[in-house]
């Protein structure tokens, strides 16, 4: 039986329609105000600039406001911290996105952690991660939260399942593992240096590829009937998992592109709307 395709693009479009209604209702209740997301881009990385434009366009589609802050390649940590502090204090701004990666002279972690919790709509702060891991209120890191929303949209059972997350980044692998654990899955965190990785993956009911290497996870490592989530995207339109041979073997999979990617931006916008509802309603 062909694998069920977990269509992130379709779920994101459906959610955008719902968010447009929520933004319109909020605008009526708050004398014309709408949620506002501030995007900060440091330097001229073309891929980062494209991602920021995509996020700003998503804001427009749902009727949200956005402000684009562009800073030079020579920006210092102190200058960036000052700009974030300014946005933290701006009552018209309900969400802050600091685009990664940043130039090497910047202390990324210090800058991420300077974003106040209630404006951390991209889920990048240590405080937000800790609260999420403890089951407290916080905005989840956008990509893993988007994956959780996608799995929920297709009624994929998680409780008691053996999940393997391949990747340990602070904004994807680690929060993904905590979210699955909070959903009562049994979670193993692996990475590119894990020994006996094929054997570990072969026992997984759910495999999440988040290692950042094209087709690093081979199809024959994955058992029949598994749920396969590929959070990678690389030139040539491939992800972190060798998906081609899996379409007739696994229960469900996320396509690349069109699976996890659209859910990442959609989750950022959803959480920005939620932040606006808390402040403006």
> 154-182: per-residue pLDDT in tens?
999 999 999 999 999 999 999 999 999 99
Residue 135: both structure tokens together? 């089951």
DSSP H helical ranges for the chain: 8-29, 46-62, 77-88, 108-113, 126-133, 142-153, 173-182, 197-202, 260-280
**pLDDT for the residue numbered 280:** 86
| Annotation marks residue 33 as catalytic | no
| DSSP string computed for 108-170 | HHHHHHTS-GGG-TT--SHHHHHHHHTT-S-PPPHHHHHHHHHHHHTT---TT-EEEEE---T
Strand partners, 5: 253
55, 83, 161, 174: which one is catalytic?
Answer: 55
Among candidate residues 7, 120, 122, 230, the one labeled active-site is 122
pTM of the model: 0.96
List, in order of start, the domains of the chain with CATH numbers: 30-117 (3.40.50.10860), 142-261 (3.40.50.720)
Instruction: Extract the residue ranges of the chain whose pLDDT is less than 50.
Output: none
Given a contact cutoff of 8 angstroms between Cβ atoms, the answer to whether 214 and 234 are in contact is yes
| Active-site pick, 7, 83, 94, 99 | 99
CB count in 10 Å sphere of residue 180: 24
119 is catalytic: no
Instruction: Please tell me the predicted confidence (pLDDT) of residue 1.
Output: 80
Check if 55 is active-site: yes
221-240 residue pLDDT tens? 999 999 999 999 999 999 99
Tell me what pLDDT residue 35 has: 94
Q: What is the dihedral of CA 119, 260, 22, 64, to 10 degrees?
A: 60
State residue 246's pLDDT score.
98
């Amino acid at each position: 039986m062909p694998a069920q395709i977990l269509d992130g693009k379709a779920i994101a479009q459906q959610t955008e329609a719902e968010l447009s209604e929520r933004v319109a209702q909020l605008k009526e209740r708050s004398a014309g105000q709408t949620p506002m997301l501030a995007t900060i881009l440091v330097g001229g990385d073309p891929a980062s600039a494209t991602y920021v434009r995509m996020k700003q366009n998503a804001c427009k589609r749902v009727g949200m406001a956005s402000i684009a802050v562009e800073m030079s390649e020579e920006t210092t940590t102190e200058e960036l911290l000052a700009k974030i502090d300014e946005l933290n204090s701006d009552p018209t701004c309900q969400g802050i996105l600091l685009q990664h990666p940043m130039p090497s002279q910047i202390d990324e972690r210090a800058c991420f952690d300077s974003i106040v919790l209630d404006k951390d709509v991209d889920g990048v702060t240590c405080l937000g991660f800790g609260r999420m891991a403890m089951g407290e209120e916080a905005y989840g890191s956008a990509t893993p939260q988007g994956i959780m929303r996608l799995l929920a949209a297709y009624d994929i059972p998680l409780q008691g399942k053996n999940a393997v997350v391949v990747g340990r980044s602070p904004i994807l692998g680690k929060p993904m593992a905590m979210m699955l654990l909070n959903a009562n899955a049994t979670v193993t965190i692996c990475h590119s240096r894990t020994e006996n990785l094929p054997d570990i993956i072969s026992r997984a009911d759910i495999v999440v590829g988040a290692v950042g290497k094209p087709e690093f996870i081979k199809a024959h490592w994955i058992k029949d009937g598994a749920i396969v989530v590929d959070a990678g995207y690389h030139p040539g339109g491939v992800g972190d998992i060798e998906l081609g041979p899996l379409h007739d073997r696994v229960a469900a999979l996320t396509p690349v592109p069109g699976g996890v990617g659209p859910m990442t931006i959609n989750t950022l916008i959803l959480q920005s709307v939620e932040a606006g509802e808390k402040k403006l309603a």
